[in-house]
Amino acid sequence: MALITSAPFILASASPRRVELLQELGLSFSVMPSGIDETYCSGETPSAHVRRISQAKATVVAVDNPEAWVLGADTIVAIGGEVLGKPKDRDDARRMLRRLSGREHYVLTGFTIVRKSVSVLCRKTVRSTVVFRPIEEDELQWYINTNEPYDKAGGYAVQEKGGLFARRIRGSYSNVIGLPVSEVFEILKKIGAIRFNGCIYDRPG
């Protein structure tokens, strides 16, 4: 029994984490990064930002692929009103991880699913809470000298070495990685974008 899509499916993102999460579902899809400007707008809240960026990513790709289902997503880390993007260098990574050390922070992902030919646009924002244990200085120096922090929001990857710092996660774990798979799957199934090929089941009664 296979998971199939009702039309071509496109991930409008270059994130290897999102690619891996969708591949784990057995989904067949193409990857087409949108290349949009992800700069914050003045006065924009974190949740408003991820909603806007995810919709922009999906819409840009959908314009040239109107028959396809297009998924756009954006993930940020927020703590104490500050949004932590991807570290620019070791000093920036060190600053971010010291900010997160021993504290609670939020990971927000906005995702949008678009299919232009049938005028479908669905979007949702998912928030997870992550609590870090205090990070010792030798651990910090070790971590920033790996390649791991520098293409991740907040400077860490919870599914890799950075998971050593996470004491608790409330909410979607895959959201912290970069895509809330359960919520995405639920919407894709609801709008008819995916189905199970060869699925036979007994009806109640």
In the set 74, 89, 138, 151, the catalytic residue is 74
Among 55, 26, 20, CA closest to 178: 20
Q: Evaluate the CA torsion angle 156, 157, 161, 162 in order and state its sign.
A: positive
Residue identified by tokens 């940020």 is: 76
Integer Cα distance of 158 and 153 in angstroms: 11
- 3-state secondary structure (DSSP) of residue 95: helix
Instruction: Tell me whether residue 74 is one of the annotated catalytic residues.
Output: yes
List 112's β-bridge partners, or say none. 72, 123
Structure tokens at 17: 């984490």
For residues 58 and 112, the answer to whether their CB atoms sit within 8 Å is: yes
| 85 touches 93 (CB < 8 A) | no
Catalytic residue numbers read 74
